[in-house]
Amino acid sequence: MCPLNHSGQSFQRIIATKILACLVLLVLFSYCQPHDPPQADLDNGGLFLPDDFQALVVADSVPGKVRHLVVGSTGNIYAKLKFSGSGGVAALQDQNGDGKADIITAFADYESEGKWSLQTGIRIHEGDLYFSSELAVYRMKMTPGELIPQGPIEVVLQDDHAHGRHEHIAKPFAFDNKGNLFVPFGAPTNACQDPKRTPGAPGLDPCPQLEDHAGIWKFDASKINQTQIDGEKYATGIRSVVAMDWNPADEELYIVIHGRDDLFRLFPERYNSWQSALLPSEEFVKVTPGSNFGWPYCYYDQISGKKVLGPEYGGDGDSVGRCADFSLPEIGFPGHWAPNGLFFYQGDQFPARYKNGAFIAFHGSTNRAPYPQSGYFLCFVPFENGIPQTWEVFADGFAQVDPIVNVNDAKYRPMGIAMGPDGSLYISDSNHGKIWRIIYNGDRETFGLAQLAAMEARKELAHIRTPHITDDNIQKDLVGKGEELYYLYCGACHQQNGKGASGRFPPLADTDWVIGEKERLISVVMNGLEGSIEVNGVTYNNVMPQHRYLNDQDLAEVLTYIRQNFGNNASEITKEEVGEVRTKTEKQNES
């Protein structure tokens, strides 16, 4: 009996072990499967969406502010933060299935790059979490069952160029399906002018910056410690890229290009302020090997539908010339909308018309004065037979105001786009670190133009429509020469209210840079400034163009206006004081 009893006990243990293993597998399987979409917020998190789409706020304010984001196979969210500081990436987890993040924790304390940490990207590829700063692409090995990657931070690509204030050094990135990594090296100037952004100055021809900038490079995604020389130039003539994605449907790389600035300020004899607000186009392009999009010699005019010569190269706003030889965009969007997010939707939760189409997040303009700022919404570009169609407004309401006079009037600015394992769409905001999740709760088979009608009507709002040349001119009732000069030369960056643009252009209100020492202020405006400065406790690193081409009286007028507005109450600056600084500057230059 004993052998039989022993055998019976062994059999029972085997059965118990198998049952336990099945239960474990069942739990793991359940955990890894996408759950039913959670309940949407009653107000859709403040968003306007097509009929039968709903939204909920996943996280209201992620510390560090969110640029791009990615969602893992279990629904965990990884957000690349706006500034590195103590942790360049945040991990978010919903533990109770209500769609809200219960855990938000920062990690990835890579070596701080200080001023070079703003523009960022993040993706999951082959089990690794890749993320970037302005000068590097990093990766960490993800660990199954762990929210935070446990491996070390590896440097995949390092931008080893010398940088003063490089204007367009964002490092978004994309992967193809053949093991390649694509990374842009942006143009270091607006239009290859030397000196930079000087009214009437011609561009360098040929432009030497095209050698190792203003293009897309291809790298081996599996290697580490690469620099640009390890890659292959894939395309050129590209000024600035913050958004890019690989389209699995046609197996091609797509990007959205930020167009150049300052047509009116630099060439007022050829352009008016209305043209400068709308042009050049922000280009949605398909990047094929060897393609050339024409920067700095040309820009795309979405109004006329052609690529034209830039004014630095003899263009008058209409001449085509050599631009006929360069690649055209798939779609030309209005100027300065700042397309900072691009994502090709591959899910099945949304109606079929969204499959393989492109979502683009317009972060919003800063330099459309004297017209309202524009953008600040999410658009959708449907593809039919591999061809992009007319764009649609998909999600709006981020700014919460219309018209948007100053960039800081907009409460939220859409940036990152990602898809969850169930096909939900996630959108991030860079102002406060808010994250929305958009879900579809209608009949996928009957969805059509009727559900899009209300969104089409939103194209008539001030932050999306083409402004009327006189009726929408916010500054048409200006009084005083100083005010006129301010809006012409200063307002595009420092904004009409003088409060600047967060992280980019400093405020003019209540700062010693403005109301303090006169000579320093005169010199900064007259001679420009490049490099890092601190204003009211915040560090800014951008280019302040020189304005020495203005005469002494005009400089005195605009400086006095700045010192006596925006809450400032400082003494005037005279043309004699400006003249003294000009003379001193000229003597220093001669020596």
Is cis: bond before 188, omega within 30 of 0? Answer: no
Can you tell me the distance from the alpha carbon of 443 to that of 301, in angstroms, rounded to the nearest whole number?
39
> What pLDDT is attached to residue 194?
81
Using DSSP's 3-state secondary structure scheme, residue 235 falls into strand
What is the percentage of the chain residues whose pLDDT exceeds 90? Answer: 65
Closest CA to 38 of 24, 58, 19, 21: 58
Question: In this structure, are residues 191 and 203 in contact, taking their beta carbons and an 8 Å threshold?
Answer: yes
Q: What is the pLDDT of residue 24?
A: 39
Place of tokens 């070390």: 152
Alpha helices by DSSP H, 182-297: 263-266, 273-278
d(CA 311, CA 79): 40
d(CA 561, CA 556): 9
Question: Which position has the token pair 């209409």?
Answer: 318
Nearest to 482 by CA among 519, 528, 525, 513: 525
In this structure, the dihedral spanned by the alpha carbons of residues 369, 427, 237 and 139, taken in order and rounded to 10 degrees, is 130
Q: What is the pLDDT of residue 22?
A: 44
- pLDDT number for residue 164: 60
The fold for domain 44-460 equals Neuraminidase (2.120.10)
pLDDT in tens, 488-513: 788 878 988 888 887 778 899 889 88
pLDDT at 116: 44
124, 77, 86, 110: which is closest to 433 by C-alpha? 77
In terms of Cα–Cα distance, which of 382, 365, 362 is closest to 374? 365
**Is 91:105 a contact under the CB 8 Å cutoff?**
yes
User: What is the pLDDT, as a whole number, of residue 83?
Assistant: 63
Cα–Cα dist 39/33, whole Å: 18
Reported pTM: 0.84
Please name the amino acid found at residue 103. Answer: I
What is d(CA 59, CA 433) in angstroms, rounded to the nearest whole number? 8
Residues of the chain with pLDDT under 50: 1-9, 11, 14, 16, 18-34, 114-116
- Of all helices (H) and strands (E), which one includes residue 555? helix 552-563
Class assignment of domain 481-590?
A: mainly alpha
Q: Where are the domains of the chain?
A: 44-460, 481-590
- Give the separation between CA 269 and CA 279, rounded to whole angstroms: 16
d(CA 467, CA 480): 24
- The Cα 574–Cα 556 span in angstroms is 5
